[in-house]
Amino acid sequence: MSASLVPNSPTSPRALAKFRSKLDLKLLLPKLQHKARTPQPLPAPVSDVPPPPPPPKDRSLVAPWEDVYAVFQVSSALERASSDSSAGSAFSSPARDIQTISRARQVKSCLPELPQTPEGDSELPWAKPTPPVRPATVPLPSRIPLPISQRRPPSTPSQPRRRLPSTPEESSARRLAALRAQELAAENARREEELRQAAMRASRIAEEESELEAERRRLAALEDELARAAALRAERERREAEEDARRRQALEERRAAARERRMREARLREEWRTEQRKGEEGLKVRRETLKRQIWEERRAIANRLRRMSRPNGNGPMILLNGWITVEQPESGAWKRRYYRLDERELRLFRSADTTAQPIDVVPLAKIRRVREWQDGYEELEAVPHSFAVEFTDGGRPWCMFTDAAEDKEYLVALLDQETII
């Protein structure tokens, strides 16, 4: 069916071209109009020779579509519009002699033939098929150029084939054949499904066996790792136990050695203390013996000095005189003095020329004892020929030293009351 278009109608190509030009994207984006257009390459020439037939192996796939045809007719006006749109023109020329684009198809089914209707159905009146309704409007022209290979001549639509009446035997045979075909197809489908299920089961069993084998290998590796770790732990514990035993043994040995050393040191200290006690006792005995000897010697010296003393006029008899250095508690300094010792007192003078007035007078009755540095006066150990004089009134002692040891012995023998008869 063909139809003519009015040039000024809303559906005419000119109106459509104007409407497209108004809705063109280039008019909405003016900045893109000044850009240089890249020339489009011309389409390669296409030959009208149809493509070669498919290989024989695809015959089963191509055969059902041998009767399918698509016919496209493009008018000269549409071709000019397509060429103008590809060249960048916004308008197309008037469409004249526009032929309707028709398309016809005839589909050949691949399904098995169905059985014929019963004999009673064949007696029904045959109804004339209704022709397909074609669109009243003309499709819009496409701006996409079609290749030349698609421009095929229109084919004549095939007329529906009339079904010839058949006998009941033929209908029954066809139904039986259709049933057998259906049963065979169902059997084939069932067999294929069984094969597919068997393959799936085999694949699933293989996967499960593979997973079980992998799990067994993993468990075996884990057991090996655990056994190795247990062996390492046992070896480490054994080494630690041996090290602890060696450490305890060494500690016991050190403790025994320390205990033996302490016992030996205690024994040595006890022996040393015993020897010290013995030495101290011997020293004490020797000291007492020495003191007794010194006392006897000083007593003899005192008696001799008394016998050798000279009278001092009407006064007391002078036993001894000379120089001595005295440290009194009040002064805290050593002072050299000239002394005279008689039977009653010890007088200290500044010098031998000033004997009329003594500086200090010490009565012999107030002297309790004369002490050496060994008797508790260790500070006098460094002073030669020194001694200390203690008083009966409880006063602080005086420290003295002479110029010679003989002078010290004479003075101490006369000052010590134990040596005085």
**Confidence (pLDDT) at 90:** 40
Mean pLDDT, the chain, as a whole number? Answer: 72
Q: Whose CA is closest to 48, among 144, 145, 150, 146? A: 150
Instruction: Tell me the per-residue pLDDT of 223-244, one tens digit each, with 9 for 90 and over.
Output: 999 999 999 999 999 999 999 9
Instruction: Tell me the per-residue pLDDT of 150-183, one tens digit each, with 9 for 90 and over.
Output: 455 555 556 555 555 568 888 888 889 999 999 9
**Beta carbons within 10 angstroms of residue 159's beta carbon:** 7
**Confidence (pLDDT) at 93:** 43
pTM: 0.35
Q: Which amino acid is at 313?
A: G
Instruction: Tell me the per-residue pLDDT of 188-214, one tens digit each, with 9 for 90 and over.
Output: 999 999 999 999 999 999 999 999 999
- Give SS3 for 21: helix
Residues in the chain: 421
Higher pLDDT, 92 or 288: 288
Residue 377 predicted with pLDDT over 80: yes
**What are the structural domains of the chain?**
1-121+131-159 (no CATH), 309-419 (2.30.29.30)
Instruction: Tell me the per-residue pLDDT of 306-333, one tens digit each, with 9 for 90 and over.
Output: 777 666 656 677 788 899 999 988 887 8
**Beta carbons within 10 angstroms of residue 294's beta carbon:** 17
List, in order, residues 6 or more apart from 365 with CB less than 8 Å away: 344, 392
- Give SS3 for 322: strand
Token pair belonging to 241: 């136990």
**Confidence (pLDDT) at 331:** 81
Instruction: Tell me the per-residue pLDDT of 104-158, one tens digit each, with 9 for 90 and over.
Output: 344 444 444 444 444 444 444 444 555 555 555 555 555 555 554 445 555 555 6
**Confidence (pLDDT) at 213:** 94
**Confidence (pLDDT) at 37:** 55
Q: What are phi and psi of 75, to 5 degrees?
A: -75, 170
Q: Are 92 and 81 in contact (CB under 8 A)?
A: yes
What is d(CA 421, CA 419) in angstroms, rounded to the nearest whole number?
A: 6
Helix (H) or strand (E) holding 228: helix 168-308
Dihedral angle of Cα 164, 168, 172, 174, to the nearest 10 degrees: -10
Higher pLDDT, 353 or 77: 353
**Confidence (pLDDT) at 315:** 63
Instruction: Tell me the per-residue pLDDT of 36-85, one tens digit each, with 9 for 90 and over.
Output: 455 555 555 555 666 666 655 555 555 554 444 443 444 444 444 444 44
